[in-house]
Amino acid sequence: MDDRRRKTRTTGQVTEPGGEATKGVSGKDKEGARVAEVLRRLAEHYRNPRTELSHRSPFELLVATILSAQATDRSVNEVTPVLFDRYPHPGSLGAAKPEELYPIINRIGLFRNKARSLVGAARMICEQFGGDVPRDREALLRLPGVGRKTANVVLSNAFGVPAIAVDTHVFRVSRRLGLADEKTPERVEAQLQSVIPRESWSDAHHWLILHGRQVCSARRPSCQECFLVDVCLAGKAGG
């Protein structure tokens, strides 16, 4: 390297030949700025986000979220009014037989398995948690039909606990945007937690879902119309 252009150890500056020292910008700083801009635009575009699953209580949200696995929120919202009217609390649902739920939820995929999970979860809530949906992640994960995504949805939306639930939309969009690059939902969740401020975790979950539904679809993402294309790694690479 020309000794007239050198980086000093003490200041981190680069001196150009015939010019003044200019402060270098690291790749880490540039990436941090890019991520911050992605989050800023998402927050600006998707204001006051919230779950689209209709519910009036933590119990109803738990039931709706269990039903939503591999199903659309719209299809779940079509069956839950009758379900909640007939089984309004854990005690009534826990006293039911799974097959009694079939006629109500049979439009939902995997409805037999989900009926068993719903009844089992309701019974455990009554027997081990005094009839109240637990506010603790580990306790929620003990309930039949509840995985980490469902637990995070309930914690975030019912109890206001900062959490990032990684569903298919969050997984896909976060990787395309370059917010994460891991290959499992659990590891993507950890990466998102490391780059997104804790106070924005719950909102970020909704931002990524909405962006995945409205713009960044699985098969044909609308990159040309996307307000993030210039800061998106997949967009810069051509989709």
Q: Looking at the structure, do residues 179 and 86 belong to the same domain, yes or no?
A: no
Q: Would the pLDDT of 16 be above 90?
A: no
Q: Looking at the structure, do residues 75 and 151 belong to the same domain, yes or no?
A: yes
51 is a domain residue: no
CATH label of the domain that carries residue 200: 1.10.1670.10
- Report phi then psi at 110, rounded to 5: 60, 35
Q: Looking at the structure, do residues 80 and 128 belong to the same domain, yes or no?
A: yes
Q: Would the pLDDT of 217 be above 60?
A: yes
Q: Would the pLDDT of 169 be above 80?
A: yes
7 is a domain residue: no
Q: Residue 62 in contact with residue 56, Cβ under 8 Å?
A: no
Q: Which of 121, 91, 118 has the alpha carbon at shortest distance from 104?
A: 118
25: CB partners within 8 A, 6+ apart: none
Q: Would the pLDDT of 42 be above 70?
A: yes
Q: Looking at the structure, do residues 147 and 198 belong to the same domain, yes or no?
A: no
pLDDT band at residue 178 under the 50/70/90 scheme: very high
Q: Looking at the structure, do residues 206 and 123 belong to the same domain, yes or no?
A: no
Q: Which residue has the tokens 């995070």?
A: 152
Q: Residue 58 and residue 133: Cα distance in Å, rounded?
A: 6
* pLDDT attached to residue 17: 37
31 is a domain residue: no
Report the number of distinct structural domains present in the chain. 2
Q: Which of 120, 186, 118, 174 has the alpha carbon at shortest distance from 149?
A: 186
* pTM of the predicted model as reported, rounded to 2 decimal places: 0.83
Q: Would the pLDDT of 20 be above 70?
A: no
For residue 82, the enclosing domain spans 58-159
Whether residue 203 lies in the annotated active site: no
User: Where a domain ends, among 100, 130, 159?
Assistant: 159
Q: Would the pLDDT of 63 be above 50?
A: yes
Helix (H) or strand (E) holding 150: helix 148-159
* pLDDT attached to residue 27: 76
Q: Would the pLDDT of 239 be above 90?
A: no
Q: How many CB atoms neighbour CB 70 within 10 A?
A: 10
What is the rounded average pLDDT of the residues 73-80? 96
Least confident of 48-62, 140-154, 223-237: 223-237
* pLDDT attached to residue 28: 80
- Report phi then psi at 142, rounded to 5: -80, -20
Instruction: Say which of 29, 114, 136, 149 is annotated catalytic.
Output: 149
What is the rounded average pLDDT of the residues 210-234? 95
Instruction: Say which of 7, 97, 114, 167 is annotated catalytic.
Output: 167
Q: Looking at the structure, do residues 120 and 203 belong to the same domain, yes or no?
A: no
Whether residue 7 lies in the annotated active site: no
Q: Looking at the structure, do residues 217 and 131 belong to the same domain, yes or no?
A: no
Q: Which of 58, 29, 68, 24 has the alpha carbon at shortest distance from 167?
A: 68
Q: Which of 11, 60, 45 has the alpha carbon at shortest distance from 207?
A: 45
